Amino acid sequence: MVADYLLHAGERSHGMDVLAESTYSIRSSPSDDLIGKGKSQAAHGRVPTTRVANTPARIADVAGACAPD
């Protein structure tokens, strides 16, 4: 993320999710996709397990894709 900032300082975001999507075409799901936002936001514990089951694996994919060899 630091290297991306140094190479592309004018970009808006240098987070892992942005880097993984732009570099490796791996899209992580924002928590808003799972729990909603605003008045319709649900507590994390109320989201069905089937909807959040892949989230940890997706985060690991993003972190693994962005990690240097």
| pTM, rounded to two decimals | 0.47
Domain extents in the chain? 2-66
SS (H, E, C) the chain: CHHHHHHCCCCCCCCHHHHHHHHHCCCCCCHHHHHCCHHHCCCHHHCCHHHHCCHHHHHHHHHHHHCCC
Q: State the pLDDT at residue 4.
A: 83
> Residue 6 — very low, low, confident or very high, per pLDDT cuts 50/70/90?
very high
Question: What mean pLDDT do residues 12-26 have?
Answer: 79
Give per-residue pLDDT as tens, 29-66: 666 677 777 887 777 677 778 777 777 777 777 777 66
Between 61 and 10, residue with greater pLDDT: 10
